[in-house]
A and B are shown apart, each in its own frame.
Chain A
Amino acid sequence: MYTEFSQLPIEKRQDIEKHWWKKIHRMDLLYLCYGITIVSLVVISYFLGAFNLLPFDPEEMDLDNMMVGIGAEGHILGTDFMGRDLLSRMILGIQAYFLPGLLAIVIALSFGSFLGVLSGFYGGRIDTGVTYFNNLVDSFPRLVLILLVVAAFKPDIYYIMIIVGLTNAPVVAALIKNKIQFLKQKNFIESSIAMGLPTHLIIFKHILWYNCRSILIIQATLGMGEAILMETSLSYLGFGVQEPTPSWGNMVQAGSNYLMQGNFWPSTAPALAIMFTILGFYLLGDALNHILEGRKS
């Protein structure tokens, strides 16, 4: 049912005016709440890990309770094959994702928008050069590149995330370039120049903020998911975060050896954490995009 705002009863109108969240679509509100919950859990876990406020010492082996399931006495999420507390290790595992993931996002967005603006706004030879660079990066298998870097330096999560960020940059660049070219077809940029707007205002305010912010938000949340997934696949190959430092990826890998014996929990718990976290970031991005740009349906 659609009713004009002015026709609603006065209490309802005042109610809507007073509470900003009543203007948001119900689904978006749900996504937003879920996303914010997940992100704040991640942030809280990061600080808990950073200040070492864990329920158990993550490296202390409880040899009496090896591979106990969920809900065991003392160990809420159970223990792994060496009797280490899973909850503590999962909280500490965030350390491998939070700051490195942010680094990957910052690199991807800043480098990507720099390239995108260069090729879209200035065009010509710069555009050709940037396109060739993007094709080069796109055509090179990312995993091989990361393995090369890990082999050349050391398996440090920051090196991996720098590469993840750099290889994500061409995607951002291509999206921003397309957007700018679309805007150039409508002569909005031309008219802005004719109106005497300085170039930095046009690029940063009108192009990047107003017209590309949905791209940037989506890419930021996708980038976080990408970073977590990339670490997981590397850990599975044994090139991610190295034991005994926990990360969700190497916890899945370590636990998978015992799946066949029926002890699925040490592997499933971090896998579920990965799933819900990535989902949280994606849905948060979706909700923010809908709130900022308006829902399409």
Chain B
Amino acid sequence: MNTAEHLKIEDLHTYFYSNVKRAFIHSVNGVSLTVNKGETLGIVGESGSGKSISMLSTMGLINAAPGVLQGEVTLHTKQGSESLLKGLDQFVKIDIQDKRIISVKKDLNAWNKQVENNMKHIRGKEISMIFQNPKAAMNPYETIGKQIVEMVLLHTELRNKHEAKEKAVYWLERVKIDSPQWRFDNHPFGLSGGMCQRAMVAMALSSEPSLLIADEPTTGLDATIQSKIIDLLAELQQELGITMVLISHDISVISRLSDNIAVMYSGTVMEQGPAKAVLDVNSDKTHPYTQALLSSVPEEHNLLANGHLKSIDGEVPDTIDIPAGCRFYARCKMKHSGIEKQCHHENPPFQEISPGHRVRCWLRIN
């Protein structure tokens, strides 16, 4: 498989402002990710770790202030590479003290206009997105067929309504919806959750994007439907050769689909690497957080002596007061390995320990 980069996110910062506490919420704090062409990147992490926000920032869908502040997002398309955040830094003025952003001035209107300009040829055409609640993400008053036809007419060369309808039926068939001709005229409320998610996938793929972002596509579906949707996504990705970013808090979902895995925690990427290296339970190269996540998967060999499931002690820290040292320090089981001081006071760099495998942990770097 070729390993040309498709999407590269570097040092992305997306902050929100809490009016009550008068402080920044560091939702995405220096995220760097690379997605290779034709591969699947799985982003895993607990709720509130910034998985969705970093992808929404990439798509320019953050509306709350101050939103995206810094970063570099490069998308490699057939026409060449394109920076999605180009021309935006002139609208933001940032004050930095001690490596922390302490005040921000942002011209939101100009920023939004520029984002619209940048994303006009990207949204739908290059990158499509599917959301976690398919019924809420579709127009409840329009039939699914018409919504797909609209996508086809907007984003592909087809201009003829009849041809577009045939194309829509083709896509409905492609995502394995039974009797697509008939389902074409169904409204979203007339479909079950799983079928609605299939229709959503059809809608996202009908514009023939090169990159598909799936934001928790299986949440809210029951277990058998979940695995069917995952199989469908894997199959479609193989057949169409598209690149996929899969966001989930369920590491078993991620492990079934991904070529590469990024583990996020508290607004940063803790580890990114090939699925094999990251998911290796016995490896001493992976991040302690990844290991903790893996050992809390409900499987037989992970159970405690009393038959209970393992869990990671403590809670995800709030992203307002970010610690100076390692973010995971408070919950880390390996902090008593002689380098506590370094872990507590210095933030580890995101360093490559083997080709394509980067970890943010002092223990693994030293």
- Residues of A in contact with B (beta carbons under 8 Å apart): 185-188, 190-199, 206, 210-211, 293
Contact = CB atoms under 8 A, between A and B. Distances in A.
A274 to B, nearest CB: 35
A254 B128 CA distance: 68
Nearest to A123: B63
B140 interface: yes
A268 to B, nearest CB: 44
A165 B155 CA distance: 40
Contacts of A185: 136
Contacts of A198: 154
Contact of A195 (B133, B135, B142, B207): B207
B136 A193 contact: no
B142 A206 contact: yes
B115 to A, nearest CB: 10
B203 interface: yes
Given A186-B133, A186-B136, A194 B128 contact: yes
A33 to B, nearest CB: 26
Interface string B75-101: 000000000000000000000000000
Interface string B110-152: 0000001000001111001111010111111110000000110
A192 to B, nearest CB: 8
Nearest to B213: A194
A194 B203 CA distance: 12
A195 to B, nearest CB: 5
Given A196-B123, A197-B124, A210-B142, A191 B137 contact: yes
B59 interface: yes
A295 B359 CA distance: 58
Contacts of B136: 185-188
Interface of B is mostly: loop
Contacts of A199: 116
Contacts of B141: 210-211, 293
B275 to A, nearest CB: 26
Contact of B137 (A186, A206, A210, A293): A186
30 contacts: A185-B136, A186-B135, A187-B131, A188-B136, A188-B137, A188-B138, A188-B139, A188-B140, A190-B131, A190-B137, A191-B130, A191-B131, A191-B137, A192-B139, A193-B61, A193-B123, A194-B59, A194-B61, A194-B123, A194-B128, A194-B129, A195-B204, A196-B124, A196-B207, A197-B124, A206-B139, A210-B142, A211-B139, A211-B141, A293-B141
B139 A195 contact: no
B203 to A, nearest CB: 7
A128 to B, nearest CB: 15
Contacts of A206: 139, 142
B137 A196 contact: no
Contacts of A187: 131, 133, 136-137
B123 A195 contact: yes
Given A185-B136, A196-B154, 19 more contacts: A187-B137, A188-B137, A188-B138, A188-B139, A190-B131, A193-B123, A194-B59, A195-B123, A195-B124, A195-B128, A195-B129, A196-B122, A196-B123, A196-B155, A197-B124, A198-B154, A199-B116, A210-B139, A293-B141
A164 to B, nearest CB: 30
Closest 4 CB pairs of A and B: A196-B124, A186-B136, A196-B123, A191-B137
Contacts of A191: 129-131, 137-138
Interface string B142-168: 100000001100110000000000000
B151 A195 contact: yes
B231 to A, nearest CB: 23
A196 B61 CA distance: 11
A197 B142 CA distance: 15
Contacts of A186: 133, 135-137
Nearest to A214: B141
Contacts of A192: 139
Contacts of B151: 195
Contacts of B142: 206, 210
Contacts of B155: 196
Contacts of A210: 139, 141-142
Given A188-B139, A206-B142, A211-B140, A197 B129 contact: no
A185 B151 CA distance: 22
B221 to A, nearest CB: 17
B82 to A, nearest CB: 15
Contacts of B122: 196
Contacts of B204: 195
A87 B152 CA distance: 58
Interface centre among A188, A191, A199 (most CB of B within 10 A): A191
Interface string B306-325: 00000000000000000000
Contacts of A194: 59, 61, 123-124, 128-129, 131
A190 B123 contact: no
A186 B133 CA distance: 8
A146 to B, nearest CB: 37
